[in-house]
Amino acid sequence: MWTYLILISSIVYLFYRWFTSKYDYFIQRGLPAVKPKFPFGNTPAAYTQKRNFYYDLDEIYQSYRKKTPFVGYFEGGTPKLLVISPEIIKEILIKNFSHFHHNEFTEMFNKEADPIFGRNLAVLKGQEWKDKRTEISPAFSNNRLRSLFPLVEDALKSFRNFIVKEIPKNEPFDIREILAKFTTDVVASCIIGVDAQSFTKVKPEIREMGRKYMDFTSSDVQFKMLLLTFFPWIRKFKKISIINKEVNEFFINLMEQAVTMREKSNTKRDDYLSYLIELKKKKNLADIDMAAHGVTFFTDGFETSSLAIAYMLYEIANDKRVQEKLRKQINEELIDENGKIIYEKMLEHEYLDQIFHETLRLHPIIMFFNRECTEEIIFDCNGKDFKIEKGMSVNVPIYSIHRDPDYFVNPTEFVPERFDAENGGVKEFRNRGVLMPFGDGGRICIGMRFALMQSKAAVIEIVRNFELSVNNKTQKPLVLDPKQYMNIKVGGLWLDLKTI
């Protein structure tokens, strides 16, 4: 009996020593660091989910802002850096991008276990990432996006009609869910040329599969990600699938069917699918690569955009001054004599652009992003040289920087006019490295222009046709959902809409 107890105790002790062996990593190198606690390091919420993981990072940021350009901390037993200085952030993302062109979570996915997500641009690295980004970038050109706008207008019509039919029920709208239906219709039309029927079917298949694809909250997925986080060496011996097999097969089959139908019908349509078919012919693109490109477009255009629009409408509903000002400008400047949105003016409209960026300043959809050091480099830290070693993970706390009073006056208030021309506009804040709704540098979001286009169009359509207010069902203050990695709030965003 005692022999077994001693053996077990020895094993536990050795595991503890092994796990905490790096806890003095930053101290040995003379870098400011947060003291970690076994076994979660400095980010217990990532494992306990008692609150959103980002609140842990924000506490570190608030404790060290104005004190150091970056600070060391631990996720479990893994040392990481939190970059606080906008100047250092710009060096990492732009000037020294060649030293930081990988994402840390790249290693969590692979092509064999996750054939689609393993080929997503956000996951790819090295030359393959560069080649695939170059391959797909022309699909997001201004001219091609302009040709896609009629498809967005068709989805807007279904969107508006659905709301009109629902208003008599006198119930609040879960605005994020409705917008997810809208963006699903848009991307389904742009990618595969079909009507996803999000507003006519109770559970449209494309919408449901998209939901599953982006759902990282299930106990199975959470367990796998925790396992790979605590024991990354497992990846060398076993390829663990994160994305549901059914979802992978659905999107692969969907793209194959779409290509077959388009080629058989010989339809000429300047959409995303046509671009992929052209690419397939030029580059001998495999079906799985086409599916991956299609799903990359789907996720960029569906999930993140629906959240961005939802927050825009929430803030507009919450501020009658902004709402009335925007509605007046929409009716006077952005609608032609036939009641249609003037595309070019929509993209260039100053106040609408200010609302968009002020919304994503307060509610960045991705609250932080990560870069992995691919080649060691030396930075100055409080007058001392600090070497960031190859493999070190560096996190950029977008949410915290966007709400830092050193960069934004009254940072928790929604004030689109802070981006007025006399203040330098949006460009001035982006140039300073304190406004990064789409990231920055070589890995800036490739679907940024598409997101801007469909988001602005949706806001115009809603604001010109409906009066908005926030329903009491919306929980205030807004709190980040503990299980979500994107900026999703507990209880949802509920709005009341009334026809004008």
What residue numbers does the annotated binding site for heme cover? 445
Characterize 318-330 residue by residue with b for buried, 16 or more Cβ atoms within 10 angstroms of its Cβ, and e for exposed.
bbeebbebbbebb
3-class secondary-structure state, position 439: strand
Nearest to 109 by CA among 255, 249, 216: 216
Beta-carbon contacts of 29 under 8 Å, excluding residues fewer than 6 positions away, are: 386, 387
| Contact predicate 221/183, CB 8 Å | no
Helix 350-362 with 320-329: angle, nearest 10 deg: 150
Helices (DSSP H) in 193-237: which residue ranges?
Answer: 205-213, 219-230
Helices (DSSP H) in 363-407: which residue ranges?
Answer: 398-402
Identity (one letter) of the amino acid at 368?
F
Distance CA(84)–CA(95), nearest Å, equals 17
| Inter-CA distances, 227 with 76, 230, 320, 485, Å | 11, 5, 48, 17
Characterize 440-464 residue by residue with b for buried, 16 or more Cβ atoms within 10 angstroms of its Cβ, and e for exposed.
bbebebbbeebbbbbbbbbbbbbbb
3-class secondary-structure state, position 32: coil
| Inter-CA distances, 252 with 114, 177, 240, 246, Å | 12, 25, 19, 10
Identity (one letter) of the amino acid at 301?
G
Nearest to 397 by CA among 51, 40, 57, 34: 57
Beta-carbon contacts of 354 under 8 Å, excluding residues fewer than 6 positions away, are: 416, 417, 418, 419, 420, 426
Query: And the tokens for 129?
Result: 């990432």
C-alpha 109: how far from chain center:
17
Nearest to 480 by CA among 496, 491, 468: 491
Return binding residues. Answer: 445
Nearest to 407 by CA among 424, 383, 394: 424
| Contact predicate 262/129, CB 8 Å | no
Phi, psi of 368 (to 5 degrees): -155, 155
| Contact predicate 398/430, CB 8 Å | no
